[in-house]
Amino acid sequence: MKRMLCLLFASMLVLVSCSQGASPPASGSTGASTAAPASSTASAATPVNEADSGVAKDGLPIVQETIQMRALVAKYIDVPDWNGHPYTEQMKEWTNIDIAWDCVPDAGFEEKRNLVFASNDLPDFVMRAKLSPQLEAKYAQAGQLLTLNDYMDYLPNLSRIMEEDEGIRKGIAQPDGNIYAFPQLNTTEGNLVSKQYINKTWLDRLGLDMPTTTEEFYQTLLAFRDQDANGNGNPNDEIPYAGTHKPGGNDRSYRMVQNLLGAWGIGHYYPIKDEPYAYVDVDANNTVYLTANDNRFRGVVEYLAKLWAEGLIDKESFSQDRNAVAPKITEDLVGYVFDGNNTQWMGASRENFVAMPALTGPNGDRKWIDVSSNVQGTGACVVTTACQYPEAAMRWIDFGYSEQGTVAIRMGIEGESWYKDDDGKYQLFDHIKNDPNGLTLDQAVSQWSVYCGGSVPQFITDDVDQSAAQLPQTKADTEVLNPDRVQFSQVPKLKFTEEESNRLSRYEQDIVPYINENLVKFITGERPMSEWDAYTTELGKMDIEAYLSIYQASFDRWNS
């Protein structure tokens, strides 16, 4: 039936679409640009390499007569509804593809996505899909995902990128050699290095140096607690350390330890950052081991338990996300926070915060391991087997990997939110960078673009990026951690066979929740550290050896 529809669609002859008559405004003009981008390989009026499906293999529009599709998308809090959004409206005019977006807020998206696949009530594609490698394999095995390999003629931009960098292909292909999901690709340092932030205004007010060791950090938090660090006359309202670790679809409790693992010697070689977080690491001999029963991991937990017991960590740290912490920062109540790669989410007092360097631990270890690969995310978007126009969907998504496509995703509309300067560089208008209504850069640019929150198929470079990663402060913050961070190429992007994925899901149901639960209990004092041996004994009764063997096989493939 799909092929018959495609053949019928290919036979339709139309005149020029409504978008073809528009012309782009000059840089800096006030009218929205609706014409095809100048960098397209064909004009909007004359698509090239049109296939039997009626879909142009390159150039714009993608199709001659408007078609409709249905897509599910995770909506980031700062991005307005994708229906009627300037970016999606521009894409509709450029491509002749009209998409009805089912927008689900990030907080409830994973539940909705899982239900959609479980019920097999599939849209044409899922954007910001946030699929783990295990879910990719699961849905592919169920016959619910199209294989990108079969549509490479309709993926000119992603194909070119993979030809130029074999590591990209290696990072997104499943063990069977097939690619089932579109990645988010990134080469900008500011976006790839997550950071920890400390209130520099508080340090200066109290005459404190920047902490560089875990002991100095502890003493700094004590001073924040006891010495009226915010200077409001109330010595009891300061929150030395605010966590943003509210569990979502994947339990984020592990984030409490993430920034400290390198100070205890964990993650120095090939830090594994799978979601759901696997609590596995690779040692100097390329052997995968479990971190959660390692004595060094115990040291991190004991350290955090001490901070918690002495009132240095916000007691809401495991029940709040960044949206709950931002108002506390705005009220100048927070001394330290670990979340994000820039400070834009923090609110009005964000300028008080600067990146804190990687800390040296009690045994002299120091490494910053919270770093992403250039393959920043592998499950950003998938086309389902329910898609009526798969070639068109592939082209629509692939356009995001072109320079003009990434500019549109990240900067929005030429003449409205961005322009080219005299040197030919992309620039955001001043009213975006300095919003008159007090919006942050991310909030202001999101009125025109859809990149915020990540997990969007795009190819981010410094040339096409005007996000907060390019702000002088973000660059300075990144430089603070660069001397001690692992290299982007060291971060494995692990994939699993169908059999491995099925086994791993079974093991994870016991192992990972048990670790998450006890991690919180030990840190909060609900379970005393004297019971650590009992915890590791219970953990040892689970299928740890089989669990690790799956990760070892996957890592060996990635590292080959």
- Chain segment 483-540, per-residue pLDDT in tens: 999 999 899 989 898 899 889 989 989 999 999 999 999 999 999 999 999 999 999 9
Question: Is pLDDT above 60 for 11?
Answer: no
Instruction: Provide DSSP, 282-324.
Output: E-TTS-EEESTTSHHHHHHHHHHHHHHHTT-B-TTTTT--HHH
CA distance 281 to 271: 6
CA distance 327 to 313: 17
| Contacts for 268 with CB less than 8 Å, ≥ 6 apart | 262, 284, 365, 367, 369, 486
- pLDDT for 526 equals 98
- Of 62, 54, 48, 57, give the one whose Cα is nearest residue 97: 62
In this prediction, residue 42 has a pLDDT band, given cuts at 50, 70 and 90, of very low
- pLDDT for 4 equals 41
- pLDDT for 75 equals 97
In this prediction, residue 453 has a pLDDT band, given cuts at 50, 70 and 90, of very high
Q: What is the mean pLDDT of the chain?
A: 89
- pLDDT for 43 equals 32
- Of 78, 143, 152, give the one whose Cα is nearest residue 467: 78
- The mean per-residue pLDDT over the stretch 308-330 comes to 95
Which residues share a beta bridge with 242? 337
- pLDDT for 44 equals 35
Q: Is the peptide bond before 483 cis (omega within 30 degrees of 0)?
A: no
CA distance 410 to 143: 33
**3-state class of 90 per DSSP?**
helix
- pLDDT for 164 equals 92
Could you tell me which residue, 183 or 497, shows the higher pLDDT? Answer: 183
CA distance 81 to 102: 9
3-state DSSP helix/strand/coil % of the chain, to nearest 5:
45, 15, 45
- pLDDT for 83 equals 98
In this prediction, residue 28 has a pLDDT band, given cuts at 50, 70 and 90, of very low
- pLDDT for 277 equals 87
- pLDDT for 53 equals 72
- Chain segment 148-167, per-residue pLDDT in tens: 999 999 999 999 999 998 88
Backbone angles phi, psi at 107, to 5 degrees: -60, -30
pTM above 0.75, yes or no: yes
- Chain segment 43-61, per-residue pLDDT in tens: 333 344 444 579 999 999 9
Q: Is the dihedral of CA 467, 470, 474, 477 positive or negative?
A: positive
Residue with tokens 């660090």: 229
- pLDDT for 13 equals 34
